[in-house]
Amino acid sequence: MQALINGLISGSSIALLALAFQIVYLPTRVFFIALGGLYSIVPCIAIAVKDTGGMSFAVIVAIVGGAMLSAFCEWANHGRLARCNASDGVQLISSLGIYIVIVQMIAMVWGNNTKTLRMELDSVTTFGDNIVVTGAQWVTLLSAIVSIGGFALFLRYSKLGLRLRALADNPIQFTLFGYNINSHRLLAFALGGMFAAISALVTAYDNGFEPYAGLHAVLLAVVAVIVGGQGSFCGAVLGALLLGLIRAEVTWYSSARWQDMTTFALLALFLLLRPQGLLGKKTRLESVS
Amino acid sequence: MNYLLHLLVYFDIYAILALSLNLVVGYCGLLTLAHASFYAIGGYACALLMLTANWGFLPAMLTGAFLSAVASLTISLSAWRLRGDFFVLASLAVQTLIYSAIYNWSSSKYPIGSWENLTNGSFGLTGIPSPKLFGWEINGTFDYAVFATGVAGLCGFILWRLKSSPWGRLLLAMRDDELAARGLGKNTRLAKIQAIAIASAIAAVAGALYATHVRYLNPDSASLDESILMLNMVIVGGLGNFRGPLVGAAILVGLPEILRFFDFPDAQAANLRLLIYGLLLVLLMHFRPQGIAGNYRLE
């Protein structure tokens, strides 16, 4: 039971990042590895601001900073490449380049060591006999529910959400209807950066952070997207929760060192046997990739 | 002088890796992140056979190359069905699985090389003997530089002959239009398997060279960062021809040495070097997507 709860909570922080990846990937088809760089830099911003402006101000600055940085990646790099009709591979490689640049800058400015956002010991809530939920886990769970729920409502009921879904569905027709594709792409990147920032902050608050953790986190998110079904937002969240559960169970019953092996074995299984994911419709991979 | 010879050995190793990776990325058009794992399989197989079974260098290296070629089936079979981003992900899965296997296949209760403690985990293998070839004991840096250059030359020659053969042209045809190549009755699946297996076997040779040169091997040589570095080399240097990867390897080996002339603190120099690689990737994608000396643009 404890493993189940731990899994759901760590899964919800993966879900935030998976959603961030998906918000960028579906409308723009950019495999946004640089999200890993954002994931690493956001807690650093928060720590730098915290000393002068207090915690809540630092969180706001960090989230806005993450969104702006992500939008800057689109404005300066991916958008320009897309207007030159660059292929998927080119987008991926340049995103990888941005990731390397951001991470190395963090390492040069703030150093390589692991840091944490939380200074004091964590409070603990106990249910029943032996089920423990820490304060940081509550924070993770609540911010995941609020932001994922908010995003679901935004997609479902607002005009802008509808337009984002339309862009994801068919970019060419979207342009034909007279909407500006560039500004909507910019919005998608900013939203993606925002969700990545929230995910990074809750993880940094719970477990601490170091510059090189970003890539691993993004890869987990991508596995979640593939498992859940890479055509939908819902699938990403479902896949992330499932992945969190599986990783927690593996840790509980065997050892944390098999976590990655199980995760990527799962990825290989899904890619070979069910590449459309749990919620996806059956299509040919070539047509969606 | 010793320093230059040392650099030459590293250049040889990276040149072998870059040329072999180019066979997959530049000639088959498949972006793979698993190359470092085949490099590590070659290194580990060679080192373990030499350490625990007292094999000679040549049979140990060839066994490593064979194992690596067999392991490469995991990515070439997924290349049958997957393309683009999905193939990258599949190769990433293979890379992580092999890395975790090397990292976790250890137990302190058993001697190194037994079935329970094959790789000695994160501690790595130490005291790998230096190679001996037909009675030639390769010991000093000069000997090793000559040896490594010879091996690199041989690998380069094999790859060059392959690329200018009809089979090499089949790869190019398949990369540019797989459907058309299949329409002409070519077995593109078999060609992919062959190309990836050959590239992996040659990467394993580079791994064996590295293991016997440094005489220490740890799981870092199978890490994702190592794969990214190799990919970086090929993409910066250039894809799809013979000189591109050589340029990439030269830049990779030369850049840290050039940075040495400026007075950076040592701790920052490594970060700065990687930062420059990252920046090069971003800029090249905008201004020269085929790399500095290449002639193929990534799909």
For B21-69, give the DSSP string.
HHHHHTTS----S-HHHHHHHHHHHHHHHHHHS---HHHHHHHHHHHHH
B107 found inside a domain = yes
H helix intervals, A29-158:
35-53, 55-73, 79-83, 88-110, 135-157
- Which range in A2-6, A110-114, A185-189 is most confidently predicted, on average pLDDT? A185-189
Q: Which residues contact B34 (CB under 8 A, 6 or more apart)?
A: B75, B91, B92, B94, B95, B98, B227
Partners of B177 on chain A (C-beta within 8 Å) are none
Specify the 3-state DSSP secondary structure of A118: coil
**What whole-number percentage of chain B has pLDDT above 90?**
29
Contact B272 A104 (CB under 8 A): yes
Confidence check on the interface: ipTM exceeds 0.90, yes or no: no
CA distance A183 to B265: 43
Q: Containing domain of residue B58, as a range?
A: 2-222
Query: What average pLDDT score do residues B151-167 get?
Result: 92
Contact B93 A94 (CB under 8 A): no
Number of Cβ within a 10 Å radius of residue A165: 15
Interface probe for A, chosen from B285, B288, B296, B299 (most Cβ of A below 10 Å), is B285
CA distance B74 to B97: 11
pLDDT digit string, tens, across residues B56-75: 888 899 999 999 999 999 88
Confidence class for position B118, pLDDT limits 50, 70, 90: confident
Alpha carbon distance, N-terminus to C-terminus of chain A: 39
Cβ–Cβ pairs < 8 A, chains A and B: 124
CA distance B60 to A150: 59
Q: Which two tokens stand for residue B69?
A: 């070629």
Contact A261 B100 (CB under 8 A): yes
Query: What average pLDDT score do residues A161-176 get?
Result: 89
To the nearest 10 degrees (0 to 180), the angle between helices A213-228 and A259-273 is 40
The alpha-carbon gap from B294 to the nearest alpha carbon of chain A, in Å, equals 15
Q: Which residue has the higher pLDDT, B121 or B37?
A: B37
Comparing alpha-carbon positions, the chain A residue that sits nearest to B86 is: A289
Q: Which residues contact A274 (CB under 8 A, 6 or more apart)?
A: none
Say which of B92, B96, B274 has its CB closest to residue A100: B274
Contact B278 A257 (CB under 8 A): no
H-run or E-run covering A214: helix A213-228
Say what the pLDDT of residue B287 is.
87
The CA–CA distances, whole Å, from B43 to A106, A221, B40, B92, B221 equal 32, 31, 5, 20, 9
CA distance A255 to A265: 16
CA distance B294 to B297: 8
Contact B100 A31 (CB under 8 A): no
Q: Which residues contact B255 (CB under 8 A, 6 or more apart)?
A: B273, B276, B277
The CA–CA distances, whole Å, from A227 to A25, A232, A265, B103 equal 15, 11, 11, 25
Residue type (1 letter), B293 = A
Give the distance from CA A97 to its chain's centroid.
Answer: 18
Question: DSSP secondary-structure letter at A122?
Answer: P
Q: Does B5 touch chain A (CB under 8 A)?
A: no
Asked whether the predicted pLDDT for residue B111 surpasses 80, the reply is: no
Computed over every residue of chain A, the mean pLDDT equals 86
Contact A268 B271 (CB under 8 A): no
Q: Which residues contact B134 (CB under 8 A, 6 or more apart)?
A: none
Residue A219: Cβ-neighbour burial (10 angstroms; 0-12, 13-18, 19+): buried
Say what the pLDDT of residue A289 is.
37
Contact B210, B41 (CB under 8 A): no
Contact A100 B86 (CB under 8 A): no
Interface probe for B, chosen from A102, A215, A251, A264 (most Cβ of B below 10 Å), is A264
Q: What is the CA radius of gyration of chain A?
A: 19
Measure the CA angle with vertex A226, ends A221 and A228; round to 5°: 90
CA distance B279 to B208: 31
Q: Give pTM, 2 decimals.
A: 0.89
Partners of A31 on chain B (C-beta within 8 Å) are 85, 88
Say which of B78, B85, B271 has its CB closest to residue A92: B85
Specify the 3-state DSSP secondary structure of B293: coil
Q: Does B85 touch chain A (CB under 8 A)?
A: yes
B214 found inside a domain = yes
pLDDT digit string, tens, across residues B194-211: 999 999 999 999 999 999
Question: DSSP secondary-structure letter at A133?
Answer: E
Overall number of domains in chain B = 1
Confidence class for position A282, pLDDT limits 50, 70, 90: low
Domain covering A2-288 assigned CATH 1.10.3470 in the classification? yes
Bridge partners for B217 per DSSP = B125
Which residue carries 């976590």 as its tokens? A259
Give the pairing of strands A131-134 and B132-133.
unpaired
Asked whether the predicted pLDDT for residue A287 surpasses 50, the reply is: no
Question: DSSP secondary-structure letter at B213?
Answer: H
Comparing alpha-carbon positions, the chain B residue that sits nearest to A101 is: B275
CA distance B58 to B69: 16
B63 found inside a domain = yes
When mean pLDDT is compared across A67-71, B109-113, B278-282, the lowest value belongs to B109-113
B237 found inside a domain = no
CA distance A63 to B183: 52
Contact A101 B278 (CB under 8 A): yes
Contact B250, B18 (CB under 8 A): no
Q: Which residue has the higher pLDDT, B13 or B111?
A: B13
Comparing alpha-carbon positions, the chain B residue that sits nearest to A276 is: B86
| Closest CA relative to residue A194, chosen from A78, A63, A72 | A63
**What whole-number percentage of chain B has pLDDT above 70?**
99
Contact B281 A258 (CB under 8 A): no
Say which of A93, A96, A226 has its CB closest to residue B89: A226
Say what the pLDDT of residue A273 is.
83
Give chain A's count of helices (H) and strands (E): 13, 2
Partners of A96 on chain B (C-beta within 8 Å) are 228, 278, 281
Partners of B280 on chain A (C-beta within 8 Å) are 97
When mean pLDDT is compared across A130-134, A137-141, B262-266, the lowest value belongs to B262-266
Q: Which two tokens stand for residue A72?
A: 């800057």
CA distance A79 to A190: 13
Contact A89 B298 (CB under 8 A): yes
Residue type (1 letter), A85 = N
Say what the pLDDT of residue B42 is.
93
Say what the pLDDT of residue A288 is.
42
B95 found inside a domain = yes
Contact B93 A268 (CB under 8 A): yes
Q: Which two tokens stand for residue A27?
A: 């409308």
Q: Which two tokens stand for residue B36?
A: 């470092």
Asked whether the predicted pLDDT for residue B186 surpasses 50, the reply is: yes
Say what the pLDDT of residue A284 is.
53
